[in-house]
Structure 1
Amino acid sequence: MKVSVAYIEEPPFYWTGSDNLATGADIELADVTLRAIGASDVEFVPTTFEELLVGVQEGRWDMTVPLFVSAERARSVAFSVPVWALGDGFVVRHGNPKALVRYESVATRSDVILGLVTGTVQRDTAMNAGVPDKRIVTFKRQSDAVAALVAGEIDAYAATALGNREIAAAHRELEAVAHEATANGSAPVGAFSFKRDNQTLLNAVNRQLRRYLGSADHRKRMAKHGITETEIDSVVERAAE
């Protein structure tokens, strides 16, 4: 059985390594899960964020790497059980000169421009917090947004706090700022996505994820990429439901 999996360039979750092979926490999770259900050939296909869900809907690939689950997205694709829960954060210039610690702090400063990758859930979160559309700039790729931040064209880039730490570690002039947890302490979850009529593959993946998530091997693999117990434990409980 051959299964194709689309991914984008967003360390530590998924990216193309120096050997031109896909690597990252979610790449490992996809590979170990698919091979456990009998896939002898797992093909990782690089694409852009805006093509991820379109491509799986059109059948250009069988599934995508995990991305945030939303009601809007769930109307067009089928999601697996959650595989991580991650809070948001900003990447800002070193020293955080405009004191940007949450979306609301962007909303209250008329001189702040926020950068996002096109199609990400952070846009809705920012606008719900009062950030006007005219002060949001979108980019096709994460690397484009980071370049704009380094050049001073935007004041902050919003993405997952975990991924932002990777960006800051690679750029001395930048730093990551994690947002405070929500009032109920929960964080948005991410899951693999599938074409809605591909129930056979979805069900097989879900069965294996329920066995594997939270195992010693799973935790060890995720820890290599900076994904902590906290970011795993809540979804282990959900997967078992």
Structure 2
Amino acid sequence: MSIKKIRIAYVDEPPFYWTEKDKSLKGADIELIETVLREIGISSIEYHHTTFEELLQGVKGGRWDINVPIFVTDERAKEVAFSIPVWALGDGFVVHQGNPKELTSYETVAMRSDTRLGLIPGQVQVNKARSAGVNDSQIVLLKNQDALIAALQSGKIDAFAATAVGNNAIVKANPELQSVPLKNNIADKIPVGAFSFNKDNHELLQAVNQQLNKYLGSADHRNKMAKYGITSSEIDAIVSKKNEK
């Protein structure tokens, strides 16, 4: 690799990536990319904290080199180049303990006009909710995960949607809240996530993909991810997809 220093953009979404109180950076995807970059000879990493909405435009505009993994969609793939998938994650809601409005799917939100659902702009859950019939008047857009949690605790919203794995981390830190995994329709494929790059950054993308192909699904990879609650359920789907190629 001719590149020696890499700039990586991230947002705060445990257990995938977040800033500790001492300003250190932690998370499953942080540990994964650091392992991969170390193996391909990258000696220096500079992290950029940003908002979710800025991720794609930031890497596209050259403000940084890599984005932490986000869901791969056809629309996003027009803007950036994705690595091979690194996890497959289903959605879930975070609600108050006991799930008082019995919210178990986007459709159950749509059926209750008195229900307010918190979402982060630009995330795939926004389109999923709208596709299921959730009215815009029911959707409350908030800038980040901390804002979603605060809105739920204050009663501004009745639930918010994110990944089921991520929601497990949230309720562990907020025991008054409950995580509700959503069931995928049989016809639905579990969405996959991947690192994203500027489309002109071929050398870095190819090097990262080569190392991910070697590393994903290994015992070391599984052990590192297990520390963050990411299990075989989230890994096996992408490993089998990788082996099909």
TM-score, normalising length: structure 2:
0.96
Q: Which residue does 2:231 correspond to in 1?
A: 228
1:191 aligns with 2:194: yes
> Over residues 93-136 of structure 1, what are the superposed CA-to-partner deviations in whole Å (9 max), with x where a residue is unaligned?
11100000010100111110100011100011111111111211
1:219 aligns with 2:222: yes
How far 1:239 moved relative to its partner?
2.3
Q: For 1:105-116, what aligned pairs fall within 5 Å after superposition?
A: 105-116=108-119
Q: Distance in 2 between matches of 1:31 and 1:192?
A: 12
Q: For 1:149-188, what aligned pairs fall within 5 Å after superposition?
A: 149-184=152-187, 186-188=189-191
- SS of the residue aligned with 1:183? coil
Q: Which residue does 1:145 correspond to in 2?
A: 148
1:28 aligns with 2:31: yes
- SS of the residue aligned with 2:119? strand
How far 1:184 moved relative to its partner?
4.2
Q: Which residue does 1:14 correspond to in 2?
A: 17
Any stretches of 5+ residues in structure 1 without a counterpart? none
Q: Distance in 2 between matches of 1:201 and 1:98?
A: 47
Q: Distance in 2 between matches of 1:53 and 1:134?
A: 27
Q: Which residue does 1:94 correspond to in 2?
A: 97
Q: Which residue does 1:83 correspond to in 2?
A: 86
How far 1:185 moved relative to its partner?
6.6
Q: Distance in 1 between matches of 2:132 and 2:188?
A: 18
How far 1:170 moved relative to its partner?
1.1
Q: Distance in 1 between matches of 2:85 and 2:240?
A: 10
Q: Report how many residues are paired.
A: 241
Q: For 1:124-143, what aligned pairs fall within 5 Å after superposition?
A: 124-143=127-146
> Over residues 192-216 of structure 1, what are the superposed CA-to-partner deviations in whole Å (9 max), with x where a residue is unaligned?
0001111111111000000000001
Question: What is the alpha-carbon root mean square deviation over aligned residues?
Answer: 1.0
Q: Distance in 2 between matches of 1:48 and 1:22?
A: 16
Identical counterparts, % of pairs: 57
How far 1:8 moved relative to its partner?
0.5
Any stretches of 5+ residues in structure 2 without a counterpart? none
Q: Which residue does 2:126 correspond to in 1?
A: 123
Q: Distance in 1 between matches of 2:226 and 2:184?
A: 21
Letter of the 1:139 partner, please give it: L
Say if 1:92 and 1:155, in contact at 8 Å, map to a contact too.
yes
Q: Distance in 2 between matches of 1:184 and 1:36?
A: 38
Q: Distance in 1 between matches of 2:241 and 2:170?
A: 29
Moved more, 143-152 or 178-187: 178-187
